[in-house]
């Protein structure tokens, strides 16, 4: 009896140890394989999303840059006083209206640097004061931009379009001598960009954000996060080469891609947990192994009871 009991205990211990080692090795291997699969999948998805976003901005950037090189825009902005700016109001109105009607943008604008006249399709809507008016700080930011591009994207409220959030493409205008005389641009309704992000979030089951170098969210499907919430990125300059970088955490994984044309970072976060998915794959194996151990225990128990019954006769 003692021999059977010792054999039974030895077999159980051996099986449990083997099962534990098998589960541990399977977990490590499965996690590694799934991590690679997650990374490859997220990189491909990020590439698709990045291309779609760049395409959505290509048209407004091109329109804005074309406006900045138009001789009519040179004429409108090449003035030095408010009186001269007022004289150009009607021509500015007609030109900006033609751009709006031709391309369908809710906001088309121009600013004369000397007089600070802000032209829209309705004429001079105001004279901006970037040094004293917080609402006009965007102009100062544009003038101090740290980029060799002639344009800069800015998220702000569009007073002309019912105070809707918009992304403005501000582009510098220079005269024939290379002297800065103002800027012009168009406004892209934020809801258009949100619909684009929402579509890809639904297709790939991911969370998509566009952020600036400080981590401040510029475009998000949740309007409450725009210009309010931050996504932390350590040393953003390390990601500024346009490559797609993959990061994995305990619960989520994400890719970070710098989109040079926008001057923003694309962050695509996988909504599913790698660890949770590994566990879900291992659970059936654990159940089968546990059932095997219980079966072995049952066989030995029945054998032990039968031997015990025979010896008592």
Higher pLDDT, 181 or 276: 181
Mean pLDDT of 224-251: 82
pLDDT at 169: 97
pLDDT at 43: 85
Higher pLDDT, 26 or 46: 46
pLDDT at 209: 97
pLDDT at 9: 66
Contact partners, residue 28, CB within 8 Å, separation at least 6: none
pLDDT at 18: 66
Higher pLDDT, 135 or 172: 172
Confidence of residue 298 (pLDDT cuts 50, 70, 90): low
Higher pLDDT, 125 or 301: 125
pLDDT at 66: 96
* DSSP labels, the chain: -HHHHHHHHHHHHHHHHHHHHHHHHHHHHHHHHHHHHHHHHHHHHHHHHHHHHHHHHHHHHHHHHHHHT-HHHHHHH---SHHHHHHTHHHHHHHHHHHHHHH--SEEEEEETTT-EEEETTEEEEE--TTT-GGGHHHHHHHT--SSSSEEEEEEEETTTTTEEEEEEEEEEE-TTS-EEEEEEEEEEHHHHHHHHHHHHHHHTEEEEEE-TT-BEEE-SSGGGTTT-B---S-GGGGTTS-EEEEE-SS-EEEEEEETTTTEEEEEEESS-HHHHHHHHHHHHHHHHHHHHHHHHHHHHHHHHHHHHHHT-
What percent of the chain has a predicted confidence (pLDDT) above 90?
54
**Assigned CATH for 60-187:** 3.30.450.20
Residue 57 predicted with pLDDT over 70: yes
> Tokens for 183?
């800027």
Residue spans of the domains in the chain: they are 60-187
Distances (CA, A) of 131 to 37, 111, 137, 143: 52, 15, 7, 12
Please provide the average confidence, as pLDDT, over all residues in the chain: 83
**For 247-297, how does the pLDDT look when each residue is reduced to its tens digit (9 = 90+)?**
876 667 889 999 999 999 999 998 665 455 554 555 666 666 666 666 666
Mean pLDDT of 138-142: 94
On whether the pTM is more than 0.85, the answer is: no
pLDDT at 77: 96
Cα-Cα-Cα-Cα torsion 250, 252, 258, 264, nearest 10 degrees, comes to -110
Work out the number of other CB atoms within 10 angstroms of the CB of residue 111: 24
Give the pairing type, strands 151-158 and 123-127.
unpaired
Confidence of residue 136 (pLDDT cuts 50, 70, 90): very high
For residue 51, the Cα-to-chain-centroid distance in whole angstroms is 12
Q: What is the CA radius of gyration of the chain?
A: 32
């Amino acid at each position: 009896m003692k021999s059977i009991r010792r054999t039974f205990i030895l077999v159980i211990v051996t099986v449990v140890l083997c099962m534990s080692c098998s589960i541990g090795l399977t977990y490590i291997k499965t996690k590694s394989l799934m991590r690679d699969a997650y990374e490859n999948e997220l990189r491909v998805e990020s590439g698709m999303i990045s291309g779609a976003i760049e395409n959505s901005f290509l048209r407004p950037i091109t329109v804005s840059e074309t406006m900045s090189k138009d001789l009519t825009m040179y004429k409108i902005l090449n003035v030095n006083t408010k009186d001269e700016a007022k004289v150009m109001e009607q021509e500015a109105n007609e030109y900006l209206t033609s751009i709006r009607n031709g391309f369908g943008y809710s906001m088309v604008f121009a600013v004369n640097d000397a007089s600070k006249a802000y032209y829209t399709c309705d004429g001079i809507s105001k004279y901006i004061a970037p040094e004293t008016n917080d609402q006009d700080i965007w102009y100062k930011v544009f003038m101090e931009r740290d980029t060799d591009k002639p344009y800069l994207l800015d998220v702000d409220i569009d007073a002309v379009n019912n105070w809707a959030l918009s992304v403005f493409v501000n582009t510098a205008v220079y005269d024939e001598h290379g002297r800065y005389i103002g800027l012009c641009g168009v406004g892209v309704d934020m809801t258009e960009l949100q619909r684009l992000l929402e579509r890809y979030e639904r297709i790939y089951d991911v969370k998509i954000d566009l952020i600036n170098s400080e981590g401040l969210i510029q475009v998000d499907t949740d309007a409450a996060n725009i210009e309010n919430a931050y996504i932390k990125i350590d040393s953003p300059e390390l990601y500024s080469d346009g490559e797609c970088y993959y990061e994995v955490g305990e619960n989520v994984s994400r890719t970070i891609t710098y989109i040079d044309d926008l001057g923003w970072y694309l962050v695509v976060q996988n909504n599913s947990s790698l660890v949770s998915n590994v566990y879900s794959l291992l659970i059936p194996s654990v159940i089968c192994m546990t059932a095997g151990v219980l079966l072995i225990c049952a066989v030995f128990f029945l054998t032990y009871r039968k031997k015990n019954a025979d010896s008592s006769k």
